[in-house]
Amino acid sequence: MAVDGGTREYELKFKARVADLSRFKKAVNTAAGENRAWSPATLSNRYFDTKDRRLADKGVSIRIRRRADGTAVQTVKATTNGSGGLLDRQEWEQPLNGNELDLAALPTESRIAMGAVLDGELAPVMNVDVERQTKTVRRANALGPDLIVEACADKGLVTAGDASERFAECELELVQGDVSAFFQLAAEINAACPLPLSATSKADRGFRLLEGIGPVPHKVPKFEVTASQTVHQALADIYPTCIGNIVDNEDACLDGTDSEGVHQMRVSIRRLRSSLNIFRKLIDPERVDWMAADLKWLGGSLGPARDWDVYIEEMLGTVKGYGIDEASIRALTRAAVKKQKEAYGLVRHTLKSERYARMIFRLAAFVALEGWLATPLNAQDPLLQPLRTSAPGILRRPYKKLLRDAQGLAQQDMETRHEVRIRLKKLRYAVDFLGGAFPGGGTKKFTKALRDLQDQFGHLNDVAQAMRMTDELTQPDENGKRDEQLQLAAGQVRGWFARALQDTEPRLLANWGAFESTPPFWDGGK
């Protein structure tokens, strides 16, 4: 921790139940090589914000923490990347003589992180009382500073307005030493006690209570790169942003109330998988092959839930009110909802599994240790070259493959067009990642043509999926009987979607023509 200054805080926070705390402590004791008692402490925290929650919106929190001995500290924390605080944060601390905030004592860096906040604007918004047990783990390091890690096992109560919530969580925080040594120790503890990582802060819990809402979905932030950045620097933005977004959407996926949770998590999974493909010629496959396998597994586990969400909310919703028998559609919807519930059961099973917990931990370590870089560093490594020279070649590859696979698009069958859609999506992600290195009208024009085409292909894929899923809902039961009402609805829905495919064909081909004639911006297109 830094006093009267800032430090980059590497902290791993784990979701836990009260019953998990003893397992965590045992794993820490084993890693520490001793079983000395943990130190107990009672912490009383008051969090502050403006009426319009400007600090929370910026990913910043400010609190006063009082200990049982009467000492008090004010702390400002801010996320340092798009990971939502999963991987590392900036932190500033100052001891206090009283019980009130002393903004004048804050260093300039923390005031910049907070933004324009006047002294009188901050007011208490929640209290967090914590019963904490801590242990300091020390390891000698002959090749660098000794490792010092603080382990915490917490039970607490968040009170915000008239609402309250009990929680338990575990933390590992790097106090001193190399990040690589920290993650080696954390890996040993995680292997013995594989708890899922969490990006939910104590302040986040309180704001949920204040707003009276459950878990909310999070969209992945836009990627902002410049031509002078290296490929390595771009990846250092892409990876933590996508991984953080996966973790940020866990609670919404587990809750299942808002289908956007699964949707946004899958978007980040696909972006990560696409990044492995887009940059594959620049990264040693042995450094990332494990990630490709795990991401494929996770995306596949979430796929059925997303498919049924789209089928119910968008596809069946489209046909309502157009002369199709309403009772039959309701019967089809009930059958689809049953499938949807089963699919969300798979989502919950996956996100609560040890494999998922270990996967997210490994991804966090991959980002913190910049695992895509080979060591020792070589100045000629293509990852260290600026985007102005690297990005054109990276973008040309998926573009040429798309043009090749889309030849004769008008005569292609649905299966072949599905492959074109996948090529299109990979190009779209590449443009999302690297388009910022080419500011100007040519980039905007190309991106719009690409987006319009992808929307059209996406709709065709949804229709094809809807036809398949309708067939799945109308299969005979275990006695070989078919539900007549479902059969009626299925026939009507198939007819509707068949007409939709025919009606959208001219627009698809027109969009393809517009895209094909738009010069690629990385080659100087205007």
pLDDT (0 to 100) of residue 427: 95
pLDDT (0 to 100) of residue 211: 86
Model pTM score? 0.89
DSSP code at position 315? I
Q: What is the pLDDT of residues 99-139, one digit of tens each?
A: 889 888 888 899 898 988 887 899 999 999 999 999 999 99
DSSP code at position 311? I
C-beta of residue 74 within 8 angstroms of C-beta of residue 40: no
Residues whose CB is less than 8 angstroms from the CB of residue 173 and which lie 6 or more positions away in sequence, other chains included: 9, 10, 11, 12, 149, 150, 152
Say if strands 72-79 and 60-67 run parallel, antiparallel, or are unpaired.
antiparallel
pLDDT (0 to 100) of residue 526: 46
What does the angle CA 298 – CA 302 – CA 372 come to, to the nearest 5 degrees?
30
Q: What region does 510 belong to: left with phi over 0, alpha with psi -120 to 50, or beta?
A: alpha
Domains of the chain: 5-213 (2.40.320.10), 241-523 (1.40.20.10)
- For the chain, residues with pLDDT lower than 70 are 1-9, 80-88, 320-324, 525-526
Say if strands 72-79 and 88-96 run parallel, antiparallel, or are unpaired.
antiparallel
How far is residue 446's CA from residue 424's CA, in Å, rounded to a whole number? 13
- What phi and psi, each to the nearest 5 degrees, are found at residue 234? -65, -45
- 45 vs 72, 126, 133, 162, 172, CA distance in Å? 10, 8, 16, 17, 20
Q: What region does 507 belong to: left with phi over 0, alpha with psi -120 to 50, or beta?
A: alpha
Q: Which two tokens stand for residue 509?
A: 């081909």
pLDDT (0 to 100) of residue 320: 65
Residues whose CB is less than 8 angstroms from the CB of residue 98 and which lie 6 or more positions away in sequence, other chains included: 72
pLDDT (0 to 100) of residue 81: 55
pLDDT (0 to 100) of residue 84: 47
pLDDT (0 to 100) of residue 4: 38
Q: Find the largest Cα–Cα distance for the chain.
A: 78
C-beta of residue 307 within 8 angstroms of C-beta of residue 336: no
Q: Which two tokens stand for residue 495?
A: 């007819």
